[in-house]
Amino acid sequence: MTHKGTKTKFDYWLNKMPVVAILRGIRPEEVVAIGCAIHAAGVGIIEVPLNSPQPFASIKNLSDALGDECVIGCGTLVNKTDAKRVAEAGAKIAVTPNVNPAIIKKCIKLGMLPAPGWATPSEAFAAYKAGAKILKMFPAATYGAGHAKAVAAVLPDDVTMLAVGGVGANNAAEWLAAGIDGFGIGSEIYTPGLNAEEVSERTQIIVNSINLAKQNLRNI
């Protein structure tokens, strides 16, 4: 799939349910069952952080099983060597905790969508200049929805802004009202030891809460 095609699929899922499921600590032998449960509950963007056990195997397993329907990617990417490995494993989106123009450009060259983590307007603009159109405010709870709203007001119109870190079902409405386009949600969806049924139930709660928040926002 081309970079453009991946962005189209990413936008489709973000519009349908603005959640990136973060499976930190997932193992390769369980990732497909967990991923299928998340997809069935209505979330179609899934990332495996690289500080998980055997993350490249998990990404490959997920990509092989769900790559046609979902956008599969990695999280916590911090070097170009790993960028190549996750691309070879089938990742289509690469989420980083910081802004590194070299990694952003490498991801684009490899056909992946980079989603770098930023905290300040300077970092957000540096990421955009390097070619990133998906910008991850991190850690979101530290800075707050007001910070996101203020920065969003000055960013280019083609930026997609995600909030990650301390955001979830309980405060989704506040962040959506601030102009956030989507959320990265980890432990509310998955923590090591949970089975597919438990993850499905957790994901459904989040989906229902965010759908309600979106509906309420439209009614204002």
Do residues 77 and 108 touch, judged by C-beta distance below 8 A? no
Catalytic residue among 47, 60, 106, 188: 47
pLDDT of residue 5: 79
The strand pairing partners of 219, in sequence order, are none
Angle at which helices 80-89 and 55-66 cross, to 10°: 30
> Nearest 5°: phi and psi at 19?
-135, 135
Helix H or strand E segment including 135 = strand 134-137
The pLDDT, as a whole number, for residue 32 is 98
47 in catalytic set:
yes
Marked catalytic residue, from 60, 92, 136, 188: 136
pTM attached to this predicted model: 0.96
The CATH fold assigned to 3-219 is: TIM Barrel (3.20.20)
Name the pairing type of β-strands 182-185 and 93-95. unpaired
Q: Is 4 a catalytic residue?
A: no
Q: HSE of 30 in the Cβ direction (CA atoms, 13 Å)?
A: 18
Residue in the structure block whose two tokens are 């916590």: 76
Residue 217: the pLDDT is 86
Nearest to 74 by CA among 101, 58, 93, 60: 93
What pLDDT, on the 0 to 100 scale, is given for residue 1? 54
Kindly list the domain boundaries of the chain, sorted by start residue: 3-219
Closest CA to 90 of 111, 117, 121: 111
Amino acid 6: pLDDT: 85
Segment-wise mean pLDDT, segments of 10 residues, the chain, 220 residues: 79 97 98 98 98 98 97 98 98 98 98 98 98 97 96 96 94 93 97 98 96 87
